[in-house]
Structure 1
Amino acid sequence: MNGEVVSIVGSSYFQPITDLIEKLIQHDDGREENIMAGYYQNGYATSICLLSVVLLESYVMRCRYIHQVSENKLKTSVINFIKNTYSDYPYEEETVEVFVIRDLIAHNHLLETTYTLTDEGMQKNGVRRYSSGDNKFKVSVDIESEKTNSLQLNTIPTKVGLSDAVKILDTVWKNLMYLENKSRDQCYVSHLTVKFKGKRARFSDVINSLQ
Structure 2
Amino acid sequence: MRSRDMVEVVGFDADDTLWQCQDTFDDAERLFLETVSPYASPGVDLKGVLRTTELSNLAISGYGVKAFGLSMIEAAVTSSAGAIPSRDIGILVDRINDMLREPVKLLDGVADALHAVAQTHRIVMITKGDLFHQTRKVQNSGLHHLFEHVKVVLEKDVSTYRAVLNEWGISPSTFVMVGNSVRSDILPIVELGGFGLHIPYHVTWEHEVVDAPKGTFCTVASISDVAEWLAAEHQS
Q: TM-score, normalised by structure 2?
A: 0.25
Q: TM-score, normalised by structure 1?
A: 0.27
State which structure, 1 or 2, has the greater radius of gyration over its C-alpha atoms.
2
